[in-house]
Amino acid sequence: LDSLHLENIMLGGCRTAVQRLAAGRLCQRSNLLSSKLSTSAVRPAIYSVQSEEEFKEKVLGGSKPTVIDFSATWCGPCKILTPRLESAIAATEDAVDLAIVDIDDFQELAIEHNVSAVPTVLGVKNGEVIGRFVGLIDEDKLGAFIGKLKE
């Protein structure tokens, strides 16, 4: 959200003058902070797959190891795991990417990769699946899983 939209949302929902003033100050601070943030920071690619072609190009044909998160919007455990994956991937400092595949949108990809339950997570390196797990796992095991991809 840009600051104008943030300000409109925050000020529109405030009932008192004090709340409006506090919201206005928050918007001013967010403008100041966003102007000081660097856009050159290295970030891993975390993306939702939009097509089978993109999957083949970025995941199977990509130069970086990739964690594939086969999930669904209605899946409770997926809602827990995906943020954990995003955090763990961010900690790799651009060494590993995360591709999120919605199985309802890409049933063929799920079938091709033997996904029978969600969440199913695959680790791909040089176009080959080198690891997989189904369901939620501990942070330590998740770190070890991603560590294998970085080797």
Q: At what angle do helices 17-36 and 3-13 cross, to 10 degrees?
A: 160
Sheet bearing 120-125, strands edge to edge: 46-48, 97-102, 66-71, 120-125, 128-134
Decide if 50 contacts 90 (C-beta within 8 A). Answer: no
What's the chain's length in residues? 151
Residue 86 token pair: 């995003």
SS3 content of the chain, % helix, strand, coil (to 5): 50, 20, 35
Q: In sequence order, which ranges of 37-121 are alpha helices (DSSP H)?
A: 52-54, 76-90, 107-112
Q: Which residues are catalytic?
A: 75, 78
